[in-house]
């Protein structure tokens, strides 16, 4: 499905909000890269084919290589005559199978997927079994050694509230402040998996994966649950445990 080629600039500009699900295994991450496949690039290429005009897609934030999303939000502006339902249907017909547009709607022209978000929820999945799984291995971090989930849950409670998360930030991302407010941080056991849910008003680069790596160190007995406040206080990434791998991480929801 493509746009009508006649005088698109004479049509009023419209703003569209997308909610996108994707498997990040084959991609360099959300952000467009000139020589690597990205989620943003795949979506923009399809939208350009449909609207017959350049399209710039703005996401709620970047996800890194190998990270997945159940509810990434993005917006773009266009003079297209196509309606949201037509855009969604057309995009899903042209996109590869590991990217799907779950919803498309018209929003006010001043809506911005990144700057208007109130909070985001991420989920990290761990397969904690003595024998690794072959099916679904790209969606969870497999750990052979039994974890003390009660200690990990106790440690996670120290993350709630407004703190400086510099100890859990990796370098390479510009930001005005490393202070964030965490509204929720909790562990649940679901069948053979452990799931860590964290909700905050914003996240630093690799923040969730750095937190998970630290909580796993607690679960293995390498740190005590009550060591978390000290790690927050010292504000030094070098003193916190290694980063968890990307493939267990999902962006679940962005709230506006």
What are the structural domain ranges in the chain?
A: 8-107, 119-255
- CA 243/CA 204 separation, integer angstroms: 13
> What band does 68 get if pLDDT is binned at 50, 70 and 90?
very high
Give the residue numbers marked as catalytic: 64
Question: Percentage of the chain surpassing pLDDT 70?
Answer: 95
Q: What is the pLDDT of residue 176?
A: 84
pLDDT of residue 11: 82
Residue positions counted in the chain: 256
Q: What is the pLDDT of residues 103-124, one digit of tens each?
A: 999 999 999 999 999 999 999 9
Question: What are the tens digits of pLDDT across the range 143-199?
Answer: 999 999 999 999 999 999 999 999 999 876 667 899 999 999 999 998 889 999 999
Q: How far apart are CA 97 and CA 115, in angstroms?
A: 29
Could you please report the per-residue DSSP string of 117-137?
A: --EEEEEEEEE--SS--STTG
Q: Could you tell me whether strands 68-78 and 14-22 are parallel, antiparallel, or unpaired per DSSP bridges?
A: antiparallel
Q: What is the mean pLDDT of residues 219-241?
A: 96
Is the pLDDT assigned to residue 31 strictly greater than 60?
yes
> What CATH fold (topology level) applies to the domain 8-107?
Alpha-Beta Plaits (3.30.70)
- What DSSP state is assigned to residue 158? T
Residue 171, pLDDT score: 76
Token readout for 66 is 């190998």
pLDDT reported for residue 147? 96
Name the average pLDDT for the chain. 94
Instruction: Assign domain 119-255 to its CATH architecture.
Output: 2-Layer Sandwich (3.30)
pTM higher than 0.85:
yes
> Looking at the DSSP assignment, which residues form a beta bridge with residue 153?
none
Comparing C-alpha atoms, which of 88, 87, 29 is closest to residue 61?
Answer: 29
- List phi, psi (to 5°) of 90: -65, -40
Do 8-107 and 119-255 come out as alike in CATH topology?
A: yes
Q: Which residue has the tokens 């003595």?
A: 130
- For position 127, what pLDDT does the model report? 97
Six-digit token pair at 157? 């409670």
pLDDT > 80? residue 65: yes
Provide the strand spans (E) within the chain: 14-22, 58-59, 68-78, 99-107, 119-127, 141-142, 161-164, 179-190, 193-200, 249-255
| pLDDT at residue 250 is higher than 60 | yes
Which of the residue ranges 3-12, 55-64, 105-114, 146-155 would you say has the lowest mean pLDDT?
Answer: 3-12
Q: Average pLDDT of 21-48?
A: 97
- 155 within 8 A of 240, measured Cβ to Cβ: no
Residue 107 Cα distances to 74, 118, 130, angstroms: 11, 16, 49
Residue 1 has pLDDT above 80, yes or no: no
pLDDT at residue 87 greater than cutoff 80 = yes
Contacts of 147 by beta carbon, 8 Å cutoff, 6+ apart: 126, 128, 194, 216, 219, 220
6-10, 67-71, 216-220: segment of lowest average pLDDT = 6-10
Mean pLDDT of the 65-90 span:
98
Distance (Å, whole) CA 52 – CA 47: 8
Whether 3 shows a pLDDT value over 70: the answer reads no
């Amino acid at each position: 499905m493509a746009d009508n080629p006649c005088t698109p600039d004479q049509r009023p500009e419209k703003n569209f909000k997308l909610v996108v699900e994707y498997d990040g295994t084959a991609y360099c991450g959300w952000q467009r890269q000139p020589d690597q496949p990205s989620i943003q690039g795949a979506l923009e290429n399809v939208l350009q084919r449909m609207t017959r005009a350049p399209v710039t897609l703005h996401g709620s934030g970047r996800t890194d290589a190998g990270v997945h999303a159940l509810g990434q939000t993005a917006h773009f502006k266009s003079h297209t005559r196509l309606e949201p339902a037509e855009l969604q249907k057309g995009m899903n017909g042209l996109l590869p199978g590991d990217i799907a547009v779950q919803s498309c709607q018209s929003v006010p022209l001043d809506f911005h997927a990144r700057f208007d978000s109130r909070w985001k929820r991420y989920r990290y999945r761990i397969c904690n079994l003595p024998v690794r799984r072959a099916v679904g291995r790209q969606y969870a971090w497999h750990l052979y050694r039994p974890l003390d989930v009660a200690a990990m849950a106790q440690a996670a409670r120290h993350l709630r509230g407004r703190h400086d998360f510099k100890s859990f930030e990796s370098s390479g991302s510009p930001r005005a402040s490393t202070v964030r407010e965490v509204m929720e941080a909790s562990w649940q056991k679901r069948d053979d998996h452990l799931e860590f849910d964290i909700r905050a008003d914003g996240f630093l680069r690799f923040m969730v994966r750095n937190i998970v790596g630290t909580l796993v160190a607690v679960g293995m007995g390498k740190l005590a649950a009550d060591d978390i406040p000290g790690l927050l206080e010292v504000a030094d990434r070098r003193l916190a445990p290694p980063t968890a791998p990307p493939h267990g991480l999902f962006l679940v929801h962005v709230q506006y």
